[in-house]
Amino acid sequence: MTRSDRTGRKNGIAGNSEPGRAPEDARYRGLLLALASGALLCLSFPRYGSALVAWVALLPLFLAVRDASPLRAFGLGWLAGFSGYAGILYWIVHVVVHYGQLPVAVGVPVMLLLAAYLGLYVSVFAGILVQLEKRGFPIILAAPLLWTSLEFVKAHLLSGFPWSNLGASQYPNLPFIQVAEFTGTYGLTFLVVMANAALFRLLFDRIDDRRWIREVAACVVLLAAVHGYGWWRIGDIQKKLDGAPSLAVRLIQGNIEQDVKWDPAYQQETVDIYTSLSRQAAPPPGSLVVWPETAAPFYFQDLNDLHRQVVLLPRETTSWLILGSPRYEKREGEIASFNSSFLVSPEGTLHGRYDKVHLVPYGEYVPFRRIIPFLTALTAGIGDFEPGPGYRALVMGAHRLGVLICYEGILAEAGRAYKRQGADLLVNITNDAWFGRTSAPYQHLSMTVFRAVESRLFLIRAANTGISAIVDPVGRITAQTGIFERTTLAGSVKFIDEKTVYGAYGDIFVYLCLGGTLVVIGFSSSGRFGRPRSSRTDPPRGRQKKEKEP
């Protein structure tokens, strides 16, 4: 074998091709593999996907970037991420066109622009991964460290976007997700990416003597241990729930169309619908009735006829009531608006209030208003809100309630803040009418499930148009409604005081991943991983020694 032949093969190309350039068929193959990974990432999430798909979603991308240059891997990674997020977030077009009153010709580019930005995280992942692997660092550790670290950055940079983190795709896999009480969803992401890397090694990368056997075996043992712990923990939590005190709850799903929700002509009808459904649900004395986000389409703080009609309900049923309503404060000639929830006692008195902390850009407030003025239309009808002062649990008799309004349900830090304040029930109120009949309501619920596991608390969810649900402390959805149906969900919750590592220490696992990633990159730059791995197309090392140069 000539030196030029070996150079060509090491770059994954024919010996007579220009070094460093892949032939056309290899280029197209890489593009198709990257697109395949994007499609599989999309199909890992609800409504149309399956959690099982996530365990193989990265295989095509690993194949696409093997032996690629870092620059080409960067491009292929971006293509995989862009196509995946475009499929996951297609519903944004519906939101900005139908409610933002933007033309489709603008709505589609808005969604694609967000997908392009999110795709950058996958591109950085692929580019660095190739560089680390060429330096001899095992993919089975490099891949999960990188992906988990970048996912954390994505969830916090520029106000953060933790929507559809890879670990969240596993919400139906109850034994597996129990480890979230230690690591949050980032630990699940780490394990899913590690499993993809191990499968890649097993199927396509069995070189370097028998190192691949040790790596795959270690992954199998780790996953088996996680699932074994999960099964045991589910049984352990269930035993503690069996004798725990309970509370009856009634979740009211009014199914008010977004197009009429803020029309003053429909205010009375909306309140009539919610009060009528609440009475039909027959809440027992001392129970908790929950209305969704902004279920009261008026300022509940104003003591008018609508306010009096609402507070009459808890007095008649001797139950507690949580409802969502906008709120305002007058400040030196200006009016500040808030997206709030109110707790009304069985005596009909206001017992507490929580103002939403984490607002959704262009849904509840308009950043860069002067730069992009036309996007102000997205807040028409609900106002331009200000964030509340912080996550504050509401006191309901002997219990403390942690209220998560809409998007806050997918924020781990919100659930963790309430856990530290001694909350013993999480209440998520939301209005998902914006999403229409897309995948978004299903995705939204799936991510909220993890707040129950991380805190080991029951979580109840009242959504205007669905999906309303009751989630137990192991992440099991014990009851739920459909979308766009007017109904009530009756059930009960139980109270246990179960401490969790994640509740106490937060994202310490992902901080370790970030530190590990920086250390790995630093060592890689100094070339301290030993000799690089041999090319996958080179003959085994024993045979290489017998070859002679011409």
| Residue 515 pLDDT exceeds 80 | yes
In the set 42, 219, 406, 513, the catalytic residue is 406
The two structure tokens encoding residue 304: 């008018």
What does the alpha-carbon distance between residue 248 and residue 8 come to, in Å, rounded to a whole number?
70
Q: Are residues 18 and 80 in the same domain?
A: yes
Stretch 161-182: mean pLDDT: 96
Which of 452, 470, 494 is a domain's end point? Answer: 494
**Residue 2 — pLDDT band, cuts 50, 70, 90?**
very low
Please name the residue ranges forming H helices in 135-158.
139-156
**Is residue 550 a part of any domain in this protein?**
no
β-pairing, 425-430 with 487-494? unpaired
Q: Is 61 within 8 Å of 72 (Cβ atoms)?
A: no
pLDDT value at residue 522: 84
Q: Are residues 83 and 57 in the same domain?
A: yes
Question: In the β-sheet with 477-480, what is the strand arrangement from edge to edge?
Answer: 394-396, 399-405, 425-430, 459-463, 469-471, 477-480
185: domain range? 3-237+505-544
**219 carries an active-site annotation:** no
**Is residue 135 a part of any domain in this protein?**
yes
Q: Are residues 200 and 127 in the same domain?
A: yes
Q: Are residues 222 and 322 in the same domain?
A: no
Structurally, how many domains does the chain consist of? 2
Length of the chain: 550
Single out the residue of 246, 243, 229 nearest to residue 181, CA to CA: 229
**347 carries an active-site annotation:** no
**Is residue 318 a part of any domain in this protein?**
yes
**Is residue 166 a part of any domain in this protein?**
yes
Which of 459, 475, 494 is a domain's end point? Answer: 494
In the set 293, 408, 413, 454, the catalytic residue is 293
* pLDDT tens by residue, 369-411: 555 555 555 545 445 788 999 999 999 999 999 999 999 999 9
CATH number, domain containing residue 413: 3.60.110.10
Q: Are residues 483 and 339 in the same domain?
A: yes
- Which range, 124-138, 255-269, 378-392, 471-485, is most confident? 471-485
Half-sphere exposure of residue 60: CA atoms within 13 angstroms, side-chain side: 22
Stretch 173-187: mean pLDDT: 97
Q: Are residues 77 and 100 in the same domain?
A: yes
Q: Are residues 125 and 251 in the same domain?
A: no
Judged by phi (left if over 0) then psi (alpha if -120 to 50, else beta), residue 158 lies in: left
Eight-state DSSP code of residue 385:
B
**Residue 211 — pLDDT band, cuts 50, 70, 90?**
confident
**Is residue 176 a part of any domain in this protein?**
yes
Q: Are residues 512 and 478 in the same domain?
A: no
Q: Are residues 140 and 69 in the same domain?
A: yes
Q: Are residues 110 and 148 in the same domain?
A: yes
The two structure tokens encoding residue 420: 């530290």
**Is residue 38 a part of any domain in this protein?**
yes
Q: What are phi and psi of 518, to 5 degrees?
A: -65, -40
In the set 154, 356, 419, 494, the catalytic residue is 356
**Is residue 500 a part of any domain in this protein?**
no
**Is residue 499 a part of any domain in this protein?**
no
Stretch 197-205: mean pLDDT: 91
Q: Are residues 208 and 316 in the same domain?
A: no
**42 carries an active-site annotation:** no
Q: Are residues 373 and 442 in the same domain?
A: yes
User: Does 192 or 101 have the greater pLDDT score?
Assistant: 192
| Residue 542 pLDDT exceeds 80 | no
What does the alpha-carbon distance between residue 461 and residue 429 come to, in Å, rounded to a whole number?
6
pLDDT value at residue 476: 97
Residue type, 240: K
Contacts of 70 (CB under 8 A, 6+ apart): 127, 128, 130, 131
Computed over every residue of the chain, the mean pLDDT equals: 88
Half-sphere exposure of residue 216: CA atoms within 13 angstroms, side-chain side: 14
